[in-house]
């Protein structure tokens, strides 16, 4: 092959790599002096510091069921009281919902903090959800101090903007890390349960990176429409969600969905080596990631609270973002037709190349083998490296990497595998777009 042809073939990949690099970082964080009706990571960070001021863990329980230390109990109660005080400072009247639940790891008593803002008409409510407990391994600045801070700063900004048309309920639950215990208690018998219709849940699987909307409830068409029209820097892919559904992994939204409720799930997942460790601190938490989470929380909350009605489950959508600039989405039942069209175009192109003797069957077979082999090798390499990492780092096999509801595995089996699989999916998606644009 001529040098010019090689350069021409490589050019699209270089351009894609440049675009990915240009838009891969989270947005610039806004400072404490930002306008009152916008989300400010600088203001939200004060809540992260308040929740993690001692730098010590504040778990609801231990994975093995052993008793917590007096220091852990004191830190847990201090974090709970910080949440209560912060909600009161926003003009709300938080209440503590106490209960006991059993999860994958243990049974424990939990204390959920729940509040509501009733300004609009009574009826179905939007619910913002995060958890204030940490693992026994670290202070949890990102997981889930960032989620709690996002909720508190979102409510503050909402109260500085246009009034909502429906109730807003804030759930900052307890015991998520021990097996989604707080969510189990909430969805069992909370007096406001029948009003809770749509949930936005905020999580973290690292301390940096863009915030992805990585999970939806079934019948997500209307939810995706609102997400696409409201969020300025969308990061989402139905391919990744399809993979996520097949993995042994859960967050509070899992319990919400089991109860028949709608919802969207958000998280950032870079610097995963800090996840569930003593390094999940405020100094490691990326302010841009916090800003990206808050921007999406505020935009979606405003959209759902000011809409004439909350969306109802419809058909599912296929969706993906283009370099976090725009979300492409269409009904899922169209995907088969698009795949068939792509296959036909590929066959026509290969047939034309064979007729004009620009290639051979052997070369085409080799090219297809290389593409499929790269995906397989990427996945195997990720799982293998993740297994090595799990064996090399203390306590990774006992919850330091895994989230509540799994057995030490992270959102994509292992952290490194997650990045490899996500990367392969991204490459496949970009190649598909390139082929259809020919």
Which helix (H) or strand (E) segment holds residue 426: the answer is: helix 415-436
Q: Band of the pLDDT at 5, cuts 50, 70, 90? A: low
Instruction: Output the pLDDT for position 367.
Output: 77
Whether 408 shows a pLDDT value over 80: the answer reads no
**Tell me: the pLDDT tens digits for 12-41?**
667 767 766 667 789 999 999 999 999 999
**Tell me: the pLDDT tens digits for 221-241?**
999 999 999 999 999 999 888
* Cβ neighbourhood burial of 187 (10 Å; 0-12, 13-18, 19+): buried
Q: How large is the average pLDDT for residues 113-125?
A: 88
**Tell me: the pLDDT tens digits for 252-306?**
999 999 999 999 999 999 999 999 999 999 999 999 999 999 999 999 999 999 9
User: Which homologous superfamily is 30-329 in?
Assistant: Zn peptidases (3.40.630.10)
Q: Are 232 and 300 in contact (CB under 8 A)?
A: no
Please tell me the distance from the alpha carbon of residue 142 to that of residue 421, in angstroms, as a whole number. Answer: 23
Q: Where are the domains of the chain?
A: 30-329, 334-436
Q: How large is the average pLDDT for residues 324-339?
A: 85
* Cβ neighbourhood burial of 244 (10 Å; 0-12, 13-18, 19+): middle
Whether 372 shows a pLDDT value over 50: the answer reads yes
Q: Band of the pLDDT at 354, cuts 50, 70, 90? A: confident
Instruction: Output the pLDDT for position 407.
Output: 36
Whether 120 shows a pLDDT value over 70: the answer reads no
**Tell me: the pLDDT tens digits for 272-283?**
999 999 999 999
Q: Are 375 and 428 in contact (CB under 8 A)?
A: yes
Please tell me the distance from the alpha carbon of residue 283 to that of residue 273, in angstroms, as a whole number. Answer: 14
Instruction: Output the pLDDT for position 417.
Output: 39
Q: How large is the average pLDDT for residues 66-87?
A: 96
Q: How large is the average pLDDT for residues 336-343?
A: 77
Q: Band of the pLDDT at 9, cuts 50, 70, 90? A: low
Instruction: Output the pLDDT for position 382.
Output: 61
């Amino acid at each position: 092959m001529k040098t010019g042809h090689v350069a021409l073939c490589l050019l699209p990949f270089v351009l894609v790599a440049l675009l990915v690099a240009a838009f891969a970082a989270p947005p610039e964080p806004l400072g404490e002096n930002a306008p009152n009706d916008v989300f400010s990571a600088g203001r939200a960070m004060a809540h992260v510091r308040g929740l993690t001021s001692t730098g010590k863990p504040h778990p609801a329980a231990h994975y093995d069921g052993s008793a917590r230390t007096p220091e852990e109990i004191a830190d847990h109660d201090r974090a709970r009281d910080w949440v209560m005080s912060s909600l009161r400072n926003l003009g709300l009247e938080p209440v503590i919902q106490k209960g006991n639940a059993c999860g994958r790891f243990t049974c424990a008593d939990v204390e959920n903090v729940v509040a509501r803002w009733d300004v609009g008409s009574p009826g179905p409510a939007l619910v913002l959800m995060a958890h204030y407990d940490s693992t026994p391994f670290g202070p949890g600045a990102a997981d889930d101090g960032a989620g709690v801070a996002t909720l508190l700063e979102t409510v503050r900004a909402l109260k500085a903007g246009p009034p909502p048309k429906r109730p807003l309920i804030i759930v900052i639950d307890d015991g998520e890390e021990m097996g989604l215990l707080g969510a189990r208690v909430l969805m069992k018998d909370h007096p406001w349960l029948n009003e809770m219709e749509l949930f936005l849940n905020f999580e973290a699987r690292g301390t940096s990176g863009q915030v992805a909307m990585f999970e939806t409830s079934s019948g997500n068409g209307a939810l995706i429409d609102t997400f696409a029209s409201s969020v300025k820097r969308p990061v989402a892919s139905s391919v990744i969600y399809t993979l996520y559904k097949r993995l042994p992994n859960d967050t509070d939204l899992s319990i919400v969905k089991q109860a028949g409720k709608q919802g969207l799930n958000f998280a950032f997942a870079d610097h995963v080596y800090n996840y569930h460790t003593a390094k999940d601190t405020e100094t490691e938490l990326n302010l841009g990631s916090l800003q990206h989470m808050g921007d999406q929380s505020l935009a979606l909350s405003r959209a759902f609270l000011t809409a004439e009605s909350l969306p109802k489950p419809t058909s599912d959508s296929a969706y993906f973002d283009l370099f976090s600039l725009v979300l492409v989405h269409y009904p899922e039942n169209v995907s088969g037709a698009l795949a068939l069209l792509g296959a036909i175009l590929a066959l026509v192109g290969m047939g034309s190349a064979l007729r004009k003797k620009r290639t051979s069957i052997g070369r085409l077979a080799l090219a297809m083998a290389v593409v499929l082999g790269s995906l397989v090798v990427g996945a195997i390499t990720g799982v293998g490296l993740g297994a090595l990492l799990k064996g090399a780092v203390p306590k990774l096999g006992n919850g330091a990497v895994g989230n509540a509801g799994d057995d030490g595995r992270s959102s994509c089996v292992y952290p490194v595998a997650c990045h490899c699989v996500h990367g392969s999916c991204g490459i496949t998606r970009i190649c598909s777009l390139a082929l259809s644009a020919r």
